[in-house]
Amino acid sequence: MTQFAYPLMFALLLLPFAFRRLLPPLKGLHGDALRIPFIGDLEKISIKSGSLWTLGTGSGGNLSRLFWTLYIVWFLLVCAAARPQLLGEPVRLDSESRDIMLVLDISTSMLARDFAIGSQRIDRLTAVKKTASDFVKKRANDRIGLILFGTRAYLQAPLTYDKNAVDETLWSMQAGMAGDSTSIGDALGLALKNLQNGKDLQNKIIILLTDGENNDGSISLAQALKLATNEGIKTYTIGVGSQNLFLSSLFGQVRGIDEQGLDAIAKATKGRYFRAGSTQALQQIYNVIDALEPARSEDRFVRETKELYYIPLLAAVLAALALAYALRRAG
C-alpha cells in the first residue's frame, strides 16, 4: 500500500498555470510568447529532427513544449515533496508496561557472606546483583530506574528502556560507595519523587531491598510511610539476610532488619513484604514480582514505512539534465 505523507503539496501543481496565465505575454515577430528570462536563448533554438523540439513549428511551439517539459520536472519535484511512502502490514505494539524503580541497599553490611550460589559462598550484594540483573532482563517492555543508597540515596539510572545501561550499573555498584549506614526513608522518598510524573499510578511500582533498618538520613521511616501512603505507588519491600543468626554472625556482622516497618510500607501501598534468607529465596521473590499482571493501555498499531521520495526526485534531476543537454545542443 502506498500513500503520500503530505498530499496537500499537490496544490503546488497549479502554480505554473497561474504564473503562465497571469504574466503578460511578449509581443514579437513570432507571435505571443510567455515572458521568461531566457527568451533570447530560445529564439536561437533550431528545430532538428529527432530532437526534443520535433513537435510543431515556430518559437511559439517550442515555448509551449518547453513549458510542458519544465512542468514534468515540476510535477516530479512536487511528488517528491509530498513524500510517497510504501506501507507494510499493521503491527500491534505490546502495550503492557510498567515504570519500575529498583531501590537497593549498598551499605557495607551487604558484604556479609551468608548467601551462596551452589556450594560457593558469596556476599549479599553479589546475590542481589545476579537476581536483580535477571529480573531487569525479563522486563523487556518496562522502563527501569535504579536508586542506590547507604548513608545517602542516589539516583544512578533514571527510568529508561535501555536495559543494558541499567544492568551495567548494577554490576558496577560496590558496597560502601554510598556510605556505611542505611537511610531507607531518603531512598524511598527519592524513588517516589522520580515516579511522580504521569497520571497512571497503576503502571508504577517500587522494589525496595535492604538488609538493615533506617538509622540515617533526613526522612524517618514513619515519614517515608506517610509519603508512600499519600502517593499510592505500589511498593514491594525485601529484607535480605540469613535468618540463621549463627550463620550471619559467622560470615558477617549481625544487623536487625526492620521487618515491621518494611511490612507496613508494603501494606500501606498494597504491595507485599518478602524475606530473602538465601539466593534461591531472593530469586523466587523476583520471580513472584515478575509474574505481576502488567497494566494494560490502549492498543497501538504501527506500520513499517519505507520512504520513496528519492524516486521522483531522481527522475526530476534526470529530466532537468536531459532538458539542459537538449537546450545546449539546440543552441
DSSP 227-292: HHHHHT-EEEEEEES-S-HHHHHHHS------HHHHHHHHHHTT-EEEEE-SHHHHHHHHHHHHTS
The overall longest dimension of the chain from CA atoms, in Å, is 115
204 near 233, Cβ under 8 Å? yes
Residue with cell 515516579: 195
The fold of the 99-290 domain, in CATH, is: Rossmann fold (3.40.50)
Residues 6+ apart with CB under 8 A from 306: 85, 86, 87, 88
Q: What is the pLDDT along the chain (331 residues), one digit of tens a residue?
A: 788 989 999 999 998 888 777 776 655 544 554 455 554 454 444 444 344 444 344 455 566 777 888 889 999 999 999 999 988 777 665 556 789 999 999 999 899 888 888 888 999 999 999 999 999 998 888 889 999 999 999 999 999 989 999 999 999 999 999 988 889 999 999 999 999 876 567 789 999 999 888 888 889 888 988 988 888 899 999 999 876 544 444 444 545 688 899 999 999 999 999 999 888 999 999 998 888 656 555 556 666 788 999 999 999 999 989 888 887 886 6
Residue 14 CA to residue 165 CA, distance in Å, equals: 53
Q: Which of 125, 128, 135, 178 shows the shortest CA–CA distance to 153?
A: 178
Residues 6+ apart with CB under 8 A from 28: none
Instruction: Give the CA distances from residue 88 to residues 42, 235, 246, 303, 306, in Å, rounded to whole numbers and listed in that order.
Output: 47, 42, 64, 5, 8
DSSP 104-131: EE-SGGGG---EEETTEEE-HHHHHHHH
**What grid cell was written down for 5?**
505523507
- Looking at the chain, which residues constitute the CATH 3.40.50.410 domain(s)? 99-290
Residues 6+ apart with CB under 8 A from 54: 47, 48
